[in-house]
Amino acid sequence: MEEEFEFDFNEDPKFSVERYEEMIRNHDQYFFDAQAFENITDYYIEKNDPARALQVVEFARNQHPFAAVFLIKQAQLLVVSNRIGEALECLDKAEMLEASDADIYIIRGNLYENLERYSEALENYEKALDLAEETDDILLHIAYVYQNMGDYDTAITYLKLCLEQNMENQDALYELAFCYDVMDNQEESVQFYQQYIDNEPYSYAAWYNLGNAFTKLNLFEKAIDAYDYAILIKDSFASAYFNKGNALVNLEKFQEAIDVYRQTFEYEQPNADTYCAIGECYEKLEQMDEARAFYKKAVKMDNKLADAWFGIGVTLDFEERYFEALHFYKKALDLDIANADYWFAIADAEYKLGHLPEAESAYEKVVELNPLDVDAWLDYSSILYELNRLSDAIEVIADAIKNNPEAAELYYRMVAYLFAKGEYNEALSQLEMALASDPEKHYILFEYLPQLQKNKVILDIINRYANK
């Protein structure tokens, strides 16, 4: 017969663990009070040993069959092991023993939320709300469910309720910003965070989110002020420095942006995105050696960062090292094959190298990916014109006009091509359309075909529109 020992229920948790491990080693059967079992379970959970914790809970359930707490802990541990069906069974048993324990409904709500069974998740969270003492995290989870259902208005309602319960719930603050962002409602976001700050002026997260909302409204000066307050409250807030740097870039204050980006390194390890952002600032300042050095640091840290490979290409392109630039543009493209900017840079570099068929193919890809890029259409058609493929050039510009009916420069280019092809009546008709769209841009026509400056018919038509 196995020997049984009983220990004082107020024993030290460390002592409980030692006694439990001794029991396992000796294949004995000791008695532990419920609190001691909870302490032992928590010890193994903290050591990230769910298998051992589950074993403890099974012992506890044998000794304390009517304690719902061990069924709840068992359910939590089964969730970690992805044994969802068994976890739900444990919660059902726990509910029969102690239906007033909010944790039962919170865990079950989490399970249903992860299974995308949203109505059942909401039902459980609502039950938990009635039973729990602190409800802010439950309200946050209800908001998550509504977000997953695509109902952002209701999610916002619950996030605000969450913040009423606990003004310092950082997750709710950030999720609220996310919801306003998805709904493209930055004005309401600004209004909310300003009101929130009136009550909680030292919330760095609120100032930060206010800065982000101002950024999305292109109010960069106001955004910088908000980021400055966030930094003042929490001077180690690296994300606020980074976003302030981005706002300065948008104001074309590149040197100031570099200084701010560098400050992030005081509070977090340098990362590829920040190196890339600094590189871009130096590029805008036309300090290409420094730009290239930072882009190289970025790709050394993250060789999947397409923008940094592209940036190296841009610095080489600026130095007219087109062949080398092309190599780096293609590395960027390998990582982001549908990026129209990368295709445009490749097309331009191929053109500068005299590789017209390759340039033509690349421009074709640009306008396919971004049919609103007027410059790409113009460059694409220029190559066809240079190759004496006038009909193709006219066809490309016709497609461009379909996609960009407001772009006067396309009509002027069409006029030039039609004149070059000898289709004068159609050319004059297009010229009328171009002048009706934007008479001031008629110089484009003469840039392309200077000889037309002596054409009396054309000059008469232009003067008629210019004097309107």
pLDDT digits (tens, 9 = 90+) for 98-112: 677 777 788 888 888
- pLDDT given for residue 56 in this prediction: 64
**Is a pLDDT exceeding 90 seen at residue 42?**
no
- pLDDT bucket at 44, cuts 50 / 70 / 90: low
- pLDDT given for residue 33 in this prediction: 65
- pLDDT given for residue 184 in this prediction: 87
The 10s digit of each residue's pLDDT in 114-133 is 888 888 889 889 888 888 88
**Is a pLDDT exceeding 80 seen at residue 331?**
yes
- pLDDT given for residue 20 in this prediction: 58
**Is a pLDDT exceeding 90 seen at residue 228?**
yes
Model pTM above 0.85: no
Question: Within a 10 A sphere around the Cβ of 83, how many other Cβ atoms?
Answer: 16
Q: Are the CB atoms for 227 and 243 separated by under 8 Å?
A: yes
**Is a pLDDT exceeding 60 seen at residue 5?**
no
Chain centroid to CA 89: how far?
Answer: 38
Mean of the per-residue pLDDT values of the chain: 86
Q: What Cα–Cα distance (Å) separates residue 318 from each residue in 72, 113, 158, 292, 375? A: 64, 52, 52, 11, 19
The 10s digit of each residue's pLDDT in 365-397 is 999 999 999 999 999 999 999 999 999 999 999
**284 burial level (CB within 10 Å; 0-12, 13-18, 19+):** middle
What average pLDDT does the segment 417-445 reach? 87
Q: What Cα–Cα distance (Å) separates residue 33 from each residue in 17, 27, 29, 38? A: 13, 19, 13, 9
- pLDDT given for residue 255 in this prediction: 97
Question: Rounded to whole angstroms, how far apart are CA atoms 191 and 205?
Answer: 15
Of residues 276 and 45, more confidently modeled: 276
Of residues 361 and 42, more confidently modeled: 361
The 10s digit of each residue's pLDDT in 150-193 is 999 999 999 999 998 888 888 998 999 899 988 888 999 999 99
Of residues 178 and 69, more confidently modeled: 178
- pLDDT given for residue 167 in this prediction: 84
Of residues 182 and 324, more confidently modeled: 324
